[in-house]
């Protein structure tokens, strides 16, 4: 097992990883920017080192400085968290070249799976259904031509990255004229990769994803699906597991198919396979995220399995000690993402507590919410024996959660939890648009 691990991230995910390392008896190293010099993750770690200025491009995206920090502190491995360099195969390769373990699938596999259009072909070979679409587009004219072949409406998507950036719903040629350059520039600015492709738009679909863990010995485990359909502008707001829309038979089949697909593609460490669940009850594979997901606590609290600890064990060459049959799928778990709608200082903070509730956050009284990074303040997660009870529980804890000093989306989350479509479980990826209308 590693004696010391550096966390190449910040905020709530850095704290989440530091706590796992502490429980495992592993020393932790935090990196921080000038904007985060007083951030909680710096002080919870055993060591910390500054890697640059406020801009992520001069700090958390500087692979060379992160590697130097690891070498300087004697860290034996790097956990990238999510975002920043977590899906950057060049960073993973740089770790390997310097004798530092990268806690993820490794550079070769990341390179193989990073191209989403190529990943779809791999998924097909592994027995998964895929959405009709194109390879990488060479021009706006090709985009319009191929969109007519597929049939409007289509989704215009960036090859790299995630978080809803570089994605546009396009319904005709006129919209394509406007959307193509915007999506390309957005992808270029966000991921330094402006490559785009098309997929057929699946109406009234649900966004379903399956958490995977796989070791180097050919073992893979699938968790119960997470429903991430409640989103705005392709940004997830609420996740729950299991989905209210998926039957037990469909769940068992999906878990087995994803487990086999992970083994066939030679996957290693934690990853997530994302699907659109259509109105005719077909799971269409979209992409695979080769990193830890923001919403991983939903699967953890439902299954009672610590995914971050298993990421570390797998990277250290330890085989999985359980199978998919051992993964608990009973009960209901819900996660609400608490986002800042303004910047400023946290003047007062009250975090609710109770059985089967957790709040993953980096904020404390006096903490500064800066404009430089993602607006996520934390994630409130609850578990209950039934979905109805979990919804009531989440409402109660959202009402108790008090964050003073910055505006948040807590009221929006409460509005969603009271919406009839959410209560009935019939919501889809366009429900937020209908709610706001």
Percent of the chain beyond pLDDT 90?
Answer: 86
- Give residues with Cβ within 8 angstroms of 279, minimum separation 6: 203, 204, 205
Tell me which of 111-120, 193-202, 317-326, 427-436 is least confident.
Answer: 111-120
Whether residues 177 and 216 share a domain: the answer is: no
What is the average per-residue pLDDT within 191-207? 89
Reported as half-sphere exposure (CB side, CA atoms, 13 A), residue 224 has a value of: 30
pLDDT for residue 126: 86
> Residue 182 is encoded by which pair of tokens?
């915007």
| Position 436 pLDDT exceeds 90 | no
Whether residues 232 and 336 share a domain: the answer is: yes
Whether residues 270 and 399 share a domain: the answer is: yes
Q: How far apart are CA 34 and CA 38, in angstroms?
A: 9
> Residue 358 is encoded by which pair of tokens?
């957790």
- Domain end, chosen from 200, 224, 257, is at 200
Whether residues 211 and 74 share a domain: the answer is: no
- Domain assignment present for residue 123? The answer is no
Active site residues: 291
What is the average per-residue pLDDT within 149-155? 94
Please confirm whether the linkage preceding 45 is cis (ω < 30° from 0): no
Degrees, nearest 5: CA angle 363-41-85:
110
Give start and end residues of each alpha helix (H) in 6-132.
11-24, 40-44, 63-73, 89-97, 107-114, 116-125
Among residues 319, 331, 323, the alpha carbon closest in space to that of 305 is found at 323
Among residues 76, 78, 13, 82, the alpha carbon closest in space to that of 41 is found at 13
Whether residues 163 and 284 share a domain: the answer is: no
Whether residues 196 and 229 share a domain: the answer is: no
Q: How far apart are CA 179 and CA 219, in angstroms?
A: 42
- For residue 222, give its domain range: 206-436
Residue 79, beta-bridge partner list:
7
Q: The domain that contains 184 carries what CATH number? A: 3.30.1490.20
Tell me which of 4-13, 120-129, 260-269, 348-357 is least confident.
Answer: 120-129
Q: How far apart are CA 222 and CA 239, in angstroms?
A: 17
| Position 161 pLDDT exceeds 90 | no
- Domain assignment present for residue 121? The answer is no
pLDDT tens-digit map of 324-350: 999 999 999 999 999 999 999 999 999
Q: How far apart are CA 263 and CA 1, in angstroms?
A: 24
Tell me which of 36-40, 120-124, 380-384 is least confident.
Answer: 120-124
Whether residues 249 and 385 share a domain: the answer is: yes
Confidence tier at 160 by pLDDT (50, 70, 90): confident
| Position 75 pLDDT exceeds 90 | yes
- Domain assignment present for residue 271? The answer is yes
Is the Cα dihedral 38, 40, 46, 51 positive or negative? negative
- Domain assignment present for residue 108? The answer is no
pLDDT for residue 275: 96
- Domain assignment present for residue 127? The answer is no
Tell me which of 17-31, 153-167, 348-362 is least confident.
Answer: 153-167
pLDDT for residue 162: 66
- Domain end, chosen from 103, 120, 143, is at 103
Distances (CA, A) of 15 to 8, 30, 34, 402: 11, 9, 18, 20
- Domain assignment present for residue 120? The answer is no
pLDDT for residue 398: 98
Q: The domain that contains 58 carries what CATH number? A: 3.40.50.20
Whether residues 187 and 239 share a domain: the answer is: no
- Domain assignment present for residue 265? The answer is yes
- Give residues with Cβ within 8 angstroms of 308, minimum separation 6: 16, 17, 20, 79, 292, 296
- Domain assignment present for residue 329? The answer is yes
- Domain end, chosen from 200, 216, 247, is at 200
Among residues 327, 364, 336, 368, the alpha carbon closest in space to that of 349 is found at 364
Whether residues 373 and 432 share a domain: the answer is: yes
Whether residues 283 and 421 share a domain: the answer is: yes
Q: How far apart are CA 189 and CA 57, in angstroms?
A: 11
Q: What is the total count of domains within the chain? A: 3
Tell me which of 39-48, 151-160, 168-177, 360-369 is least confident.
Answer: 151-160
pLDDT for residue 163: 65
| Position 359 pLDDT exceeds 80 | yes
Whether residues 284 and 395 share a domain: the answer is: yes
Whether residues 241 and 384 share a domain: the answer is: yes
């Amino acid at each position: 097992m590693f004696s010391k691990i550096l966390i190449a991230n910040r905020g709530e995910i850095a704290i989440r990883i530091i706590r796992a390392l502490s429980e495992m008896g592993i020393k932790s190293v935090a990196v921080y920017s000038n904007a985060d010099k007083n951030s909680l993750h710096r002080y919870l770690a055993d060591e910390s080192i500054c890697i640059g200025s406020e801009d992520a491009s001069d700090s958390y995206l500087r692979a060379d400085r992160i590697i130097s920090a690891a070498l300087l502190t004697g860290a034996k491995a790097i956990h990238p968290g999510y975002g920043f360099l977590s899906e950057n195969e060049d960073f993973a390769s740089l770790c390997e070249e310097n004798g530092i373990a990268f806690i993820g699938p490794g550079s070769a596999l990341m390179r193989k799976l990073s191209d989403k259009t190529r990943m779809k072909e791999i998924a097909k070979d592994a027995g998964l259904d895929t959405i009709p679409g194109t390879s990488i587009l060479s021009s706006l004219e090709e985009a319009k031509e191929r969109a007519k072949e597929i049939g409007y409406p289509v989704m215009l998507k960036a090859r790299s990255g995630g978080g809803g950036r570089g994605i546009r719903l396009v319904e005709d040629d006129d919209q394509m004229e406007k959307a193509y350059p915007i999506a390309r520039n957005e992808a270029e600015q966000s991921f330094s990769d402006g490559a785009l492709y098309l997929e057929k738009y699946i109406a009234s679909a649900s966004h379903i994803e399956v958490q995977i863990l796989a070791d180097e010995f050919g073992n893979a485990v699938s968790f119960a699906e997470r429903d991430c359909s409640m989103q705005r502008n392709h940004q997830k707001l609420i996740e729950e597991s299991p989905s209210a829309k998926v039957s037990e038979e469909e769940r068992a089949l999906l878990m087995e198919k994803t487990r086999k697909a992970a083994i066939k593609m030679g996957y290693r460490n934690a990853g997530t396979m994302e699907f659109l669940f259509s109105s005719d009850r077909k799971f269409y594979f979209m992409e695979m995220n080769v990193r830890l997901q923001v919403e991983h606590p939903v699967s953890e609290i439902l299954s009672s399995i610590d995914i971050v600890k298993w990421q570390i064990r797998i990277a250290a060459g330890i085989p999985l000690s359980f199978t998919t049959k051992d993964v608990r799928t009973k009960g209901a778990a819900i996660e609400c993402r608490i986002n800042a709608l303004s910047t400023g200082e946290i003047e007062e903070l009250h975090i609710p507590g109770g059985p089967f509730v957790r709040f993953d956050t980096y904020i404390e009284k006096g903490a500064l919410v800066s404009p430089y990074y993602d607006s996520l303040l934390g994630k409130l997660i609850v578990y209950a024996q039934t979905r109805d009870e979990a919804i009531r529980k989440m409402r109660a804890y959202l009402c108790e959660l008090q964050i003073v000093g910055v505006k948040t989306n807590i009221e929006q989350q409460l509005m969603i939890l009271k919406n009839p479509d959410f209560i009935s479980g019939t919501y889809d990826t366009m429900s937020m648009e209908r709610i706001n209308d």
